[in-house]
A and B are shown apart, each in its own frame.
Chain A
């Protein structure tokens, strides 16, 4: 029977109100659960690479859902279309929600155009994990790499993401780096970014030509660049008002 009892019955999980995301569980509960995940996967594989892949696949599912949840709840259903936008979303918002703090750093790779790195002194998932020597470079942060890959993939930025230990001088435990390598089929990502910029500029140009007329041709160059940077039509309208006063 629906509606009987203290708690209101929802037939469909989508009708339930979305929680605010403030509920907490203990760190040890999560640590126990994660250790069972790793232990279960260890029984299912023969080698390290397979184990990392399985952990990453598990994280992928989490990442897809986290993006959906956060886009709806925190960003009002707006989606990121720029590379730096999605990277800083992962680095700050996703990390803050999942791990309680923003990631330690976000760096651009020096060797390749499309490589970025998110570093963390100690990943939350690795807090209570020690890797035996015979497992070599295995890192349970592959789960977090999977989460990042899930977020990027469903946001439209396909990438290969992996987790690595980077030993630091003066520190006993190495820091973890999540390496993100964007995949672009035709050319590189910078080209796509330039195209988006050009499209925005062209749109503003057409808008102004129609609204302000040929008298303002000499101002158009600066106005267009300003509007492309602010990326909002309301800013463009303000500019238009100013220009009319000047005329």
Chain B
């Protein structure tokens, strides 16, 4: 299962239009710099980045489903694999790995070794509480919410804070059944 998903991720990435990762990195840096100047509080910036990520995620999921041709995921384990291998590859050009499943399969870690958002970045002492890549947690949360999964996404490890990789903890809170926006008898 896993190698097949990985190969489809590579295939999709080869088919989408691509831009230089440095433009992406530097634009993201410009965004974070603007937020820091405007909001000044590191916690506020974290929240704003998460919100921006959420806004991106709710639209990104449409493009993901349209271009990647993945079949419907049966359980959360599959969802996590698809996000890590196809989702990340398709948009960021890097794959993540899934690990640390908890007992009931509702919570896992996505581990990123390579992250195009953080090239050339170093956190100064004044911003030590900043989750620089918090936009990613918002994207995942937003994307999963549109496909009826309410999740909570947190950072466990962050290379900019001295750890050895980026680790996101994704926890499935509940599956919301799909609601039709109109009544049947109208």
Which A residues fall within an 8 A CB radius of B?
4-7, 9, 12-13, 19, 21, 23-30, 32-37, 39-41, 44, 54, 57-59, 61-62, 65-66, 69, 97-100, 124
Contact = CB atoms under 8 A, between A and B. Distances in A.
A100 B26 contact: no
A13 B121 contact: yes
A24 B164 contact: no
Closest 4 CB pairs of A and B: A5-B164, A13-B122, A24-B18, A23-B21
B115 to A, nearest CB: 11
B30 A99 contact: no
Interface in B80-139: 90-93, 113, 116, 119-122, 135
21 contacts: A9-B162, A13-B122, A21-B22, A23-B21, A24-B18, A24-B20, A25-B18, A25-B21, A25-B91, A26-B93, A34-B27, A36-B56, A37-B30, A40-B34, A44-B38, A54-B34, A61-B30, A62-B23, A62-B29, A69-B120, A100-B19
Interface in B13-38: 13, 16-24, 26-31, 33-35, 38
A9 B160 CA distance: 11
Given A24-B20, A30-B27, A32-B60, 18 more contacts: A5-B164, A6-B113, A12-B122, A13-B121, A24-B18, A25-B24, A28-B63, A29-B24, A30-B23, A33-B24, A33-B31, A36-B55, A37-B27, A37-B34, A66-B22, A69-B120, A100-B19, A124-B19
Contacts of A98: 20, 22-23
A23 B93 CA distance: 8
A13 B24 CA distance: 18
A172 to B, nearest CB: 20
Nearest to B33: A61
A33 B22 contact: no
Contacts of A32: 56, 59-60
B26 A62 contact: yes
B52 interface: yes
B22 A69 contact: yes
B164 A7 contact: yes
Interface of B: 13, 16-24, 26-31, 33-35, 38, 48, 52, 55-56, 59-60, 63, 90-93, 113, 116, 119-122, 135, 162, 164-165
A99 B116 CA distance: 17
A44 B59 CA distance: 22
Given A6-B113, A28-B91, A40 B164 contact: no
Nearest to A5: B164
Contacts of B26: 61-62, 65-66
Contacts of A34: 27
Nearest to A59: B30
A119 B155 CA distance: 43
Given A33-B28, A99-B19, A99-B23, A5 B165 contact: yes
B92 A25 contact: yes
A94 to B, nearest CB: 10
A34 B34 CA distance: 13
Given A6-B113, A33-B56, A24 B93 contact: yes
Given A5-B165, A97-B20, A26 B90 contact: yes
Contacts of A97: 20, 22
A87 B129 CA distance: 41
Contacts of B13: 26
Contacts of A36: 31, 52, 55-56
B60 A27 contact: no
Q: A4, A29, A57, A69 — which one has the most chain B CB atoms within 10 A of its CB?
A: A29
Contacts of B33: 58, 61
Contacts of B119: 19
Contacts of B35: 40
